[in-house]
Chains A and B, each alone.
Chain A
Amino acid sequence: MDLEFSAIMNKNSLVISNLYVQTNDGKEILHGVSLRIKKGEIHAIMGPNGSGKSTLAQALMGNPNYIITRGKIKIDGIDVTKLSPDKRAQYGLFLGFQDPVEIPGVNFGSFLRMAVNENKKKEKRISPIAFRKQLLEQADVFAFKKDILSRNLNEGFSGGEKKKSEILQLSLLKPVYAILDEPDSGLDIDGLKFIARTISSLSHKFGLALITHYQRILKFIKPDFIHVLVDGKIAETGDYVLVKKIEKKGYRQYIKN
């Protein structure tokens, strides 16, 4: 691949190259992970518990507890490896948390409006009234009760509400690339279908890295690529056929020793 071509490829992609990540106490979790997610593509990242899926998500977003020792993260050609989480967000990256933290006393609506405004630095800021209208519409789509506006961020949200709130935030913030860390965990089949449907119906075009332990959500969201992460490395990459293989044989086939 010549340099020019590679530059064009990078321009519309989230590129993770040869990423090594360790925890604060020096334990290496990821040993050289590479991925390229183009805008409009859906990538499923699967793997057994403890394989490093969440570490990858956290490291991509810039959680200071996960230290990148080697490798690079580029958003549309811009190296964000050393940038703080807010800068990465402003370059278009979003992380849907597996278990979002409760923030007492912080109003959900006001927080979201602040976030939306921060992510559109150059454009005109959205007025509180216009934002309220938008949020109420979206809340309706996500089958939230109207009182969501007066509630505090994730505080007292049920498991299902927390999951929905993450996707609602995704729909309003309109990132270019989104990582969703197990958006399906802890949901019953109806909850799962609902989440999957709302993710698929998001109107704006973005690249998606969907981290999941189970294949069941992939029945409702068809990924373009499947990556199997085992022991901090991508063990196999393929298309939907790979899901069938995992369904049959489990992750055991990848585990050596």
Chain B
Amino acid sequence: MKIEPIKKNNYKLGFSKPDTSIFKLPKGINKKIVETISYYKNEPDWMRKFRLRAFEIFENKMMPSWGADLSGINFRDFYYFISPTDKKFNNWKDVPYDIKNTYEKIGIPQAEQKMLAGVGAQYDSEVIYNNLKKQWEKQGVIFCDPDTAVQKYPDIVKHYFGTVIGPEDNKFAALNSAVWSGGSFIYVPKNVQVTIPLQAYFRINSASFGQFERTLIIAEERSCVHYIEGCSAPIYSKESMHAGVVEIIVKKGARVKYTTIQNWSNNVYNLVTKRMVIEEDGIGEWVDGNIGSKATMKYPCLILKGKGAKGEILSLAFASNGQHQDTGGKAIHLAPYTTSNIVAKSVSVKGGKSSFRGLVKIVKGAHNSRSYMRCNALILDKLSCAQTFPAHIVDENNTILEHEATVSKIGEKQLFYLMSRGLSEQQATSLIVNGFIEPIVKELPLEYAVELNRLIELSMEGAIG
């Protein structure tokens, strides 16, 4: 294996890791690559072993035989580790025209456009970030990337890392466990309420939009935090696979909300495992929006472990030309008096395909639990399609389960009504679609919601007739 010479770090801007040297491993994955990643990151032995064990599991795991078509994935074609500085500077000239065009149309400032396209970082937010950071630190809140956390807070990381989603879980969780880099690490101490949402945006560096990002959130008893990541504008990635893992631990009486909007460019396979364990009287919420990528497979999961735990999943999928959004949600009720609420909305347009998979499992003993699952799919034209696969496994009698699913075409009556008021077919369609997804969009921070609406209007262009 050839390792390119390590150059002295010249990267002074922003606040990303100081030791960002140019370092690149060859394409493909093997044990040596995994070891080199760990070595390069100067990791403790337990993490190195964790990675190696995960790699072994990855090698032996089968590809999922269901869900989106993943036959286009060739594991030998990817780089599994590229150091941040090397990766950072994509060439603006190489960013595809349609992505630049979208940035223009949804009105994103140029500096931010470049950041999203992986050309540069968002420096303007540094001041804000540092001020906020002081507040958090006073409260004992830790918010950094997991690489830093492994070095600075090894005890906490070691205690929780991989406990919610083990490498055994699925092939992509195993792959992530073996080669992960970047992501977020959040620790909120007992009784601390973080009032301002923590946003990955504040500490954008190249690692944040990594291919194999790893997020770990621990909310101690009666604490509260809202984490927001991603953005509604398309993120251009040269690398065509994103396999993330998100683990969240919600302790007794704590509350965690995790909001993601992902809009990867349409060459990307987006395969993410997200799971949250919620202890007694805790509340966990996933808000998950998927509007880009070539194929997405993502089913945020709630494990309601403690008595009285509550969980909610709001999922939004938007599938356009050549895209398959295979998304949904899972709720596993392990304790009595637990409640879960899953609401999924999907829109298919221009030949896009969306599939909803919902699973509710209530085990014996989880009495007086209740679950509500709703899935609404909207199809805009004859080329597009939508599927729903709800599943219920209930081993306890004393429970309440509700389920509702609709697949509908855009209403002719609604279109005619709006057009009779002078709106064009495209405007009318956008309005109906935005109205359809409104229950989820209103849960998003305002700037995301505005951008999302504009983006959907844009996606409607040429979709009619």
Residue numbers of A with Cβ under 8 A of B are 61-65, 84-86, 88-90, 94-95, 97, 100-101, 103-106, 111, 114-115, 118-119, 152-153, 169, 173
Contacts and interface: CB of A to CB of B under 8 A. Distances in A.
Contacts of B428: 86
Interface string B407-423: 00001111011111111
Interface of B is mostly: helix
Contacts, number: 77
B64 interface: no
A84 B422 contact: no
B434 interface: yes
Residue of A64, A84, A105 most packed against chain B (CB within 10 A): A105
Contacts of A94: 420
B169 interface: no
Contacts of B417: 97, 100-101, 103
A105 B420 contact: no
B197 interface: no
A104 B432 CA distance: 8
B96 interface: no
Nearest to B417: A101
Nearest to A58: B416
Residue of B421, B422, B428 most packed against chain A (CB within 10 A): B422
B35 to A, nearest CB: 52
Contacts of A88: 420
B77 interface: no
Given A103-B417, A103-B432, A90 B412 contact: no
A118 B422 contact: yes
B435 A64 contact: no
A115 B421 CA distance: 6
Nearest to B431: A106
Contacts of A100: 417
Residue of B414, B416, B425, B437 most packed against chain A (CB within 10 A): B416
B199 interface: no
Given A63-B416, A89-B419, A114 B431 contact: yes
A86 B437 CA distance: 24
Nearest to A120: B422
A184 B8 CA distance: 81
B210 to A, nearest CB: 35
B439 interface: yes
B135 interface: no
- Sorted nearest first, the 8 A-B pairs with minimum C-beta distance are A105-B435, A105-B438, A89-B422, A106-B435, A118-B422, A85-B419, A115-B421, A101-B413
A115 B420 CA distance: 9
A169 B413 CA distance: 18
Given A85-B416, A103-B417, A115 B422 contact: yes
B436 interface: yes
Given A101-B414, A106-B431, A86 B422 contact: yes
B424 interface: yes
B217 to A, nearest CB: 31
B427 interface: yes
Contacts of B418: 103, 111
Given A103-B432, A118-B427, A89 B411 contact: no
A85 B420 contact: yes
B12 to A, nearest CB: 44
Given A104-B436, A106-B438, 9 more contacts: A61-B420, A64-B412, A65-B412, A86-B419, A101-B417, A103-B414, A103-B417, A103-B435, A173-B422
Contacts of A64: 412, 416
A148 to B, nearest CB: 16
Nearest to B439: A105
Given A86-B423, A118-B427, A101 B411 contact: yes
Contact of A105 (B411, B422, B424, B434): B434
A106 B418 CA distance: 11
A105 B412 contact: no
Contacts of B434: 105-106
Contacts of A101: 411, 413-414, 417
Nearest to A99: B413
Contacts of B414: 101, 103
A63 B411 CA distance: 13
Contacts of A119: 421-422
A86 B417 CA distance: 10
Contacts of A84: 419, 425
A103 B414 CA distance: 7
Residue of A61, A85, A89, A111 most packed against chain B (CB within 10 A): A85
A231 B418 CA distance: 30
Contacts of B419: 62, 84-86, 89
Nearest to A91: B422
22 contacts: A61-B416, A64-B412, A84-B419, A84-B425, A86-B421, A86-B422, A86-B425, A95-B420, A97-B420, A101-B411, A101-B414, A103-B431, A103-B432, A104-B436, A106-B432, A106-B435, A111-B421, A118-B421, A118-B422, A119-B422, A152-B435, A173-B421
Contact of B422 (A65, A90, A104, A152): A90
Contacts of B436: 104-105
Contacts of A61: 416, 420
Nearest to A119: B422
B421 A169 contact: yes
A86 B424 contact: yes
Contacts of B411: 101
B411 to A, nearest CB: 7
A226 B101 CA distance: 57
B226 to A, nearest CB: 23
A160 B219 CA distance: 51
B423 A115 contact: yes
Contact of B435 (A95, A97, A104, A118): A104
Contacts of B438: 104-106
Interface in B5-57: none
A111 B431 contact: yes
Residue of B414, B418, B421, B436 most packed against chain A (CB within 10 A): B421
A115 B431 CA distance: 12
Contacts of B423: 86, 114-115, 118
Nearest to B413: A101
Contacts of B424: 86, 118
A33 B82 CA distance: 74
B387 to A, nearest CB: 22
A182 to B, nearest CB: 16
A106 B411 CA distance: 14
Contacts of A169: 421
